[in-house]
């Protein structure tokens, strides 16, 4: 009975450990003869019709030009912009030094709409509009922020220390929405306006490559990277019924 009690205590202790606590930290190593992953994220079928945003506040600034929702931007040829592609299961490779990345509030929209960067980076939040904005992040691993940014406060710096997908809004202008995606390694990319992406200096091996798109969700596929070679991996999203 005593041994049974000890085992029960061990099981309960394991259950109490937060998810991800046993994850192996990313290890920085020299990458010899790394490969490249290139590809395209595309939309099958006719592109969705742009949805016009109703500007209800600060119209002299926010309404200077039409605004459209940016949760699914499909370019010519069906390429999806602002999707984030990353290697989901890599535990060692090249370093991912942090830096400074600009996130602007311009015309009452976020630019860029999706910002991807390494952990340890500083997000330089700009107010180019000269009106009151309020930067509000929704995060669980990193401390959330909720800062008023009046016209005289042109810049707010926020350091992001942990990997996480973070939703960003403006409490002063309810239609404003953007995303930050922080990674603990350099193996990620944001698609361009035609849906293209490239991930460089990948150690040879087989990985799970994942794409995130804010409206259509995630897709994953296996990809094998060979030293000094380029591997192609394409993703296709279909309209939701």
Tens of pLDDT, residues 191-220:
999 999 999 999 999 999 999 999 999 999
pLDDT at 214: 97
Q: What is the pTM of this model?
A: 0.88
Q: Is the pLDDT of residue 176 over 90?
A: yes
Q: Is the pLDDT of residue 109 over 90?
A: yes
Given the DSSP bridges, would you call strands 84-87 and 188-190 parallel, antiparallel or unpaired? antiparallel
pLDDT at 25: 85
- pLDDT 10s digits, 113-171: 999 999 999 999 999 999 999 999 999 999 999 999 999 999 999 999 999 999 999 99
Query: Would you list the DSSP string of 72-127?
Result: S-B-GGGBBTT-EEEETT--EES-----EEEEEEETTEEESSEEEEETTEEEEEEE
Which DSSP category does 168 fall into? E
- pLDDT 10s digits, 27-52: 999 999 999 999 999 999 899 999 99
Q: Is the pLDDT of residue 3 over 60?
A: no
For residue 104, report the phi and psi dihedrals to the nearest 5 degrees.
Answer: -100, 145
Q: Is the pLDDT of residue 4 over 70?
A: no
Query: Would you list the DSSP string of 32-72?
Result: SS-EEEEEEEEE-SSPPPPPBP---S-HHHHTSS--B--SS
pLDDT confidence tier of residue 9, bands split at 50, 70 and 90: very low
Q: Is the pLDDT of residue 13 over 60?
A: no
pLDDT at 186: 98
Residue 213 to residue 114: CA distance in whole angstroms: 10
**7-21, 47-61, 223-237: lowest mean pLDDT where?**
7-21
pLDDT confidence tier of residue 23, bands split at 50, 70 and 90: low
pLDDT at 127: 98
The overall average pLDDT reported for the chain is 91
**Which carries the bigger pLDDT value, residue 19 or residue 216?**
216
Question: Class assignment of domain 57-237?
Answer: mainly beta
List the one residue out of 85, 80, 112 whose CA is nearest residue 192: 80
- Where along the chain do its domains lie? 57-237
Q: Is the pLDDT of residue 24 over 80?
A: no
């Amino acid at each position: 009975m005593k041994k049974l009690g000890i085992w029960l205590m061990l099981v309960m202790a394991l259950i109490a450990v937060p998810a991800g606590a046993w994850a192996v930290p990313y290890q920085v190593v020299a990458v010899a003869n790394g490969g490249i992953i290139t590809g395209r994220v595309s939309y099958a079928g006719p592109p969705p019709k742009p949805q016009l945003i109703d500007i209800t506040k600060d119209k002299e600034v926010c309404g200077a030009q039409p605004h459209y929702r940016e949760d699914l931007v499909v370019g010519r040829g069906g390429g999806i912009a602002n999707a984030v592609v990353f290697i989901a299961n890599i535990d060692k490779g090249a370093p991912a030094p942090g830096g400074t990345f600009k996130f602007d509030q311009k015309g009452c929209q976020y630019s860029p709409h999706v910002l991807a960067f390494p952990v340890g980076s500083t997000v330089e939040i700009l107010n180019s509009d000269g009106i009151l904005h309020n930067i509000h992040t929704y995060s669980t691993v990193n401390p959330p922020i909720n800062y008023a940014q009046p016209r005289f406060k042109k810049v707010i710096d926020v350091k992001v220390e942990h990997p996480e997908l973070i939703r960003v809004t403006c409490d002063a202008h309810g239609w404003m929405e953007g995303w930050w995606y922080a990674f603990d390694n350099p193996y990620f990319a944001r698609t361009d306006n035609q849906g293209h992406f490239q991930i460089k200096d990948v150690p040879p091996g087989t990985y799970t490559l994942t794409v995130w798109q804010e409206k259509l969700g995630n897709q994953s596929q296996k990809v094998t990277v060979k030293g000094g070679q380029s591997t192609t991996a394409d993703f296709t999203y279909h309209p939701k019924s």
